[in-house]
């Protein structure tokens, strides 16, 4: 299985490197918003730490949405998943490799974004990059949860449009949500709270987070993703 994951990882990585559009799409909007907002305010470092996690969350979730959930659905519609899995004999290795590649992609995007915004805002530190990468590692359950999109019986073109349209309102909503258990149904809010928990742990930011609720939410996302992977069918939901 490890050999299959390695082979798929290299394949997906080569495909990702040759396609620059996803990189520009993933960091374009958060970079413009962060620079427009950040350069118009006289931020302290604590203020900066309280708003940059919102954009880390957007980059991470955009990567998971388009690079994992929608990509798996797209590959299945085109018959590629059936071919790949017939070769390896294991769908899990194929999906895990895709998750790993998209985490590499997200890491590169986060580093580029964090360096750019922090330099322009005069807040640069290597510690910031470390925080961003820790948030990425902690968000792994959401990477698995993105595979839930493969259970939705919509055409991939319609699903892609709808999913990306819904992202922005959820992103804005997360900036105004309060600490209630149902707030964690919004993945943007979940990542924001995860980032705050990490920042609070390293005493970089003084915030109060309900740790048990956050851990429960992440566990639910992980289990939901594992359920979706188990139910993942190689044949198109619409045509089979």
**Confidence at residue 133, expressed as pLDDT on a 0 to 100 scale:** 97
Find the radius of gyration of the CA atoms of the chain: 18
Q: Where are the domains of the chain?
A: 2-231
Q: What is the pLDDT of residue 237?
A: 58
* Other CB atoms within 10 A of residue 231 CB: 11
Listing DSSP states for 137-182 in one string gives: HHTHHHHHHGGGGGGS-S-HHHHHHHHHHHHHHHHHHHTT--S-GG
Burial track 37-48 (b if 16+ CB lie within 10 A, e otherwise): ebeeeebeeeeb
Residue 230: helix, strand or coil by DSSP?
A: helix
How far apart are the C-alpha atoms of 1 and 161, rounded to whole Å? 34
Tell me the whole-structure pTM to 2 decimals: 0.91
For residue 84, give Cα distances in angstroms to 76, 88, 94.
10, 6, 8
Per-residue pLDDT of the chain in tens (240 residues, 90 and over written 9): 777 888 888 888 887 777 666 677 788 888 888 887 766 556 788 888 888 999 999 999 999 998 898 888 888 887 777 777 777 667 888 899 999 999 999 999 999 999 999 998 888 889 999 999 999 999 999 999 999 998 887 787 778 888 878 888 998 899 888 888 899 999 999 999 999 999 999 887 888 888 999 999 999 999 999 999 998 877 665 554
| Residues 49-74: b if buried by 16+ CB within 10 A, e if exposed | bbbbbbbbbbbbbbbbbbbbbbbbbb
Picking from 105, 114, 112, the residue whose alpha carbon sits closest to that of residue 132 is 114
């Amino acid at each position: 299985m490890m050999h299959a994951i390695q082979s798929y990882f290299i394949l997906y990585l080569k495909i990702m490197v040759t396609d620059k559009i996803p990189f520009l799409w993933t960091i374009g909007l958060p970079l413009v918003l962060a620079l427009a907002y950040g350069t118009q305010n006289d931020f302290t470092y604590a203020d900066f730490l309280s708003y940059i996690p919102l954009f880390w969350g957007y980059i991470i979730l955009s990567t998971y949405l388009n690079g994992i959930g929608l990509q798996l659905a797209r590959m299945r519609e085109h018959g590629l998943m059936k071919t790949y899995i017939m070769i390896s004999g294991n769908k899990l290795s194929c999906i895990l490799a895709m998750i790993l590649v998209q985490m590499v992609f997200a890491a590169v995007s986060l580093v580029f974004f964090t360096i750019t915004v922090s330099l322009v805002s005069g807040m640069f530190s290597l510690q910031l990059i470390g925080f961003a990468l820790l948030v990425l590692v902690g968000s792994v359950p959401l990477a698995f949860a993105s595979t839930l999109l493969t259970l939705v019986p919509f055409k991939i073109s319609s699903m892609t449009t709808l999913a990306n349209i819904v992202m922005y309102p959820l992103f804005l909503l997360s900036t105004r949500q309060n600490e209630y258990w149902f707030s964690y149904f919004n993945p943007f809010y979940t990542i924001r709270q995860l980032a705050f928990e990490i920042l609070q742990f390293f005493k970089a930011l003084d915030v109060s987070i309900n740790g048990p609720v956050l851990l429960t939410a992440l566990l639910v996302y992980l289990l939901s993703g594992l359920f979706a992977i188990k139910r993942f069918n190689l044949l198109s939901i619409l045509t089979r």
